[in-house]
């Protein structure tokens, strides 16, 4: 089966610009996650979707970050305006209903550099 797809793989922008990342989860996976991984740290959950509804966005900086999953399949994460400290790898993950408690499947990530 195809894995979690993400694009773009790399993005360089200047501070105060906007950027969007796209994720397509494994087919049939209802739960989708966005993580932020700053260099030298473990991934940190930003937002979790169940189908097209938000389950947990408590760690999402809502003044500049937004995410949607309108049709319950693919998802977009946006940053507007970007700050220098947003430089990180943004990881998307998904899991199926039967995988609850058994781990998540991660995409390759989008590496963002804010100058």
Partner 1 sequence: AQSVTQLDSHVSVSEGTPVLLRCNYSSSYSPSLFWYVQHPNKGLQLLLKYTSAATLVKGINGFEAEFKKSETSFHLTKPSAHMSDAAEYFCVVSDNTDKLIFGTGTRLQVFP
107 binds partner 1 (CB under 8 A): yes
- Decide: 45 and 55 in contact? Cβ < 8 Å: no
Closest approach, Cβ 91 to partner 1, in A, equals 7
Chain positions 3 to 62 lying near partner 1, rule: CB under 8 A, are 3-4, 31, 40-45, 48, 56
Could you give the C-alpha distances from 6 to 16, 34, 88, 115, in angstroms and in order?
A: 23, 11, 15, 22
Report yes or no: 16 and 82 within 8 Å, Cβ to Cβ. yes
- 17 vs 37 by CB, closer to partner 1: 37
Binding flag, residue 81, partner 1 (CB under 8 A)? no
Least Å from the CB of residue 16 to partner 1: 28
Nearest Cα to 71, choosing from 87, 53, 59?
53
Q: Which residues bind partner 1 (CB under 8 A)?
A: 3-4, 31, 40-45, 48, 56, 91, 93, 100-109
């Amino acid at each position: 089966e195809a894995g979690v797809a993400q694009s773009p793989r790399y993005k360089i922008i200047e501070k105060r610009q906007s950027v969007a990342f796209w994720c397509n989860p494994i087919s049939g996976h209802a739960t989708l996650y966005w993580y932020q991984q700053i260099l030298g740290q473990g991934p940190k959950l930003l937002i979790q979707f169940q189908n097209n509804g938000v389950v947990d966005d408590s760690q999402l900086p809502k003044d500049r970050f937004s995410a949607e999953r309108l049709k319950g399949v693919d998802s977009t994460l946006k940053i507007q305006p970007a700050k220098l400290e947003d430089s990180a790898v943004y990881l998307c993950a998904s899991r199926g209903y039967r995988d609850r408690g058994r781990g998540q499947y991660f995409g390759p990530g989008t590496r963002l550099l804010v100058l």
